[in-house]
Structure 1
């Protein structure tokens, strides 16, 4: 009997936001938020945000920003022609940033607050098996790994002139300072994280992602069998002593791997 196996290729995603130990101690909400969606044609869109600790409604700003960014991209018909054109991909990412900024400002008005009361950073990533594009306002980090094992920091934390200072989505110059980066390569893994993890994930001296941090996590996401269990394991990892000894901030980590399954 002649049996032929078929291959299905798809993105596997595991993501979590957890409250930092300092916020737990002070009985504060987790200010981080994330959102992601798989679109037709193996297009993965992800967003992560870190509401400003100084903003009374930072959590709300972060949630509104990530949800609006992903909804904006999900409403688009992202065709191969669009994906093949750098200017069109940049335009999509810009539009998602603009929509998120407007939504946060509208939410501030609805809550009778100032926009800065909802201050948040925002990272938006659009990834396919052939390319990845990122737009970032503020700190945090987006990385990608290609089929040869090269690991690239697509963005770097924007800490402004002073340590612990950053640009927020609600800042007047937010869109002017946005980092937008495209990388056309055979993409195997992508990762997005907020600033709570950047000291562990980035060699700050040379601005390169730390392979011993990312590679085991990318192996983990590629071998996931049970999505619910995988998320629990990621939450446990983010709350582990190895992490909490190094940072007491809120933590968000989005991991994805593109893999083929035979059946």
Structure 2
């Protein structure tokens, strides 16, 4: 009898939905996300939250997330390359810089200032052996290892005051980028914007909340129909359970390695 030697592959479900406060004020969702599964089973994810004070925050978030992922996707990255810490850090830094430049160029094209397109940005590269993250601003990236431990890969940068953070186009932003490499076998990755922070994290100790993440990771692992799964995730994010606890825009990207 032949036994399967098939390598586990990434399955991803993701959504960005408008918060109840933005719906009430007839505003667009300011969040955005993007992801690609590259050859050699490399997952690249980005998520961004457009600044509430930025008139084109949604545009900035979209440009930043798409540019960051596309920049990495053009590098012909292999898992062998990702065994080198310097290469990983260089990829993440280049993605951040490219996203920043793209947002600044979009601002010029729109005859606006860069701060009019301000957003946060999280960029994740993940394989079964390593997950690496670069982050500017709030939100968080989380991983689950093969024995069920949850790891907060980043810490939300909420600034000095509540609801304050640093943005991709803020002065000196690149000097404040968080970069984290986690070299342990993993089975799940989650990325979320700040609208879900208080539900998903124990902020006092910067620890992921298991009752939030574990059911979602189980959900994506068993989600065979991508369209139906996304509809279910959107329904969850718009549910009363969520909307009673946050009125902000919400982005959630959840990934699982599946046979």
Query: What interval of TM-score do these two structures reach, taking the shorter chain for normalisation?
Result: over 0.9
- Cα offset, 1:81, TM superposition: 3.3
| Gapped regions of structure 1 (runs ≥ 5) | none
Contact between 2:36 and 2:45, CA under 8 Å: does it hold in 1? yes
CA distance in 2, matches of 1:3, 1:157: 47
Q: Which residue of 1 aligns with 2:100?
A: 101
CA distance in 1, matches of 2:226, 2:158: 34
Q: Which residue of 2 aligns with 1:249?
A: 248
Q: Which residue of 1 aligns with 2:8?
A: 9
CA RMSD of aligned residues (A): 1.0
Structure 2 residue 100 is matched with structure 1 residue 130: no
Q: Which residue of 2 aligns with 1:178?
A: 177
Change (3 A) 1:83 1:3: closer
Q: Which residue of 1 aligns with 2:211?
A: 212
The within-5 A match list for 1:224-235 is 224-235=223-234
Contact between 2:140 and 2:197, CA under 8 Å: does it hold in 1? yes
CA distance in 1, matches of 2:3, 2:88: 37
CA distance in 2, matches of 1:195, 1:176: 21
TM-score (norm 2): 0.98
CA distance in 2, matches of 1:47, 1:74: 12
Between 170-179 and 95-104, the greater mean CA deviation after superposition: 170-179
TM-score (norm 1): 0.97
Q: Which residue of 1 aligns with 2:191?
A: 192
| Gapped regions of structure 2 (runs ≥ 5) | none
- Cα offset, 1:244, TM superposition: 0.3
CA distance in 2, matches of 1:153, 1:237: 22
Structure 2 residue 228 is matched with structure 1 residue 237: no
Q: Output one character per residue of 1:151-181: Cα deviation in whole Å (capped at 9) or x when no partner.
A: 0000011011111110000101111111000
